[in-house]
Amino acid sequence: MAKFLSVISRPTLNRIVEPLARGLLRIGVSPNAVTVAGSLGVIAASVIFAAHGHLLAGTLIITGCALTDLLDGTMARLRGSKSKWGALLDSTVDRVSDAAVLGGVAYWLATTNQHRAATLALVCLILGQLVSYVKARAEGLGFSANVGLAERAERLLILGVGGLLAGLGLKPALEVALWVLAALSVITIAQRMIHVYRQAREPINR
> Looking at the annotation, which residues are catalytic?
94
* Structural domain for 107, as ranges: 2-205
What whole-number distance in Å separates Cα of residue 97 and Cα of residue 64? 13
Per-residue pLDDT, averaged over 69-96, amounts to: 84
pTM metric for this prediction: 0.84
Nearest to 152 by CA among 118, 117, 184: 184
User: What is the rounded average pLDDT of the residues 53-82?
Assistant: 86
Convert the pLDDT of each residue in 113-134 to its tens digit. 999 999 999 999 999 999 999 9
Say what the pLDDT of residue 14 is.
66
Share of the chain above pLDDT 90, in %: 60
Please tell me the predicted confidence (pLDDT) of residue 206. Answer: 44
Give dist(CA 69, CA 95) in Å, integer.
Answer: 13
- Assign residue 125 the CATH number of its domain: 1.20.120.1760
Burial 134-171 (b: 16+ CB within 10 A, else e): bbeebeeeebebeebebbbbbbbbbbbbbbbbbbeeee
Pairwise CA distance, residues 100 & 40, whole Å: 10
Q: At 4, is the pLDDT very low, low, confident or very high (cuts 50, 70, 90)?
A: very low
For residues 167 and 62, the answer to whether their CB atoms sit within 8 Å is no
pLDDT at 5 over 80: no
Residue 1: what pLDDT? Answer: 45
For residue 113, give the 3-state DSSP assignment: coil
- The model's confidence at residue 61, banded by pLDDT at 50, 70 and 90, is very high
Measured between alpha carbons, how far is 176 from 165 in angstroms, rounded to an integer?
11
Distance, CA of 114 to CA of 127 (rounded, Å): 20
> Rounded distance, CA 96 to CA 35, Å?
12
**Counted domains in the chain:** 1
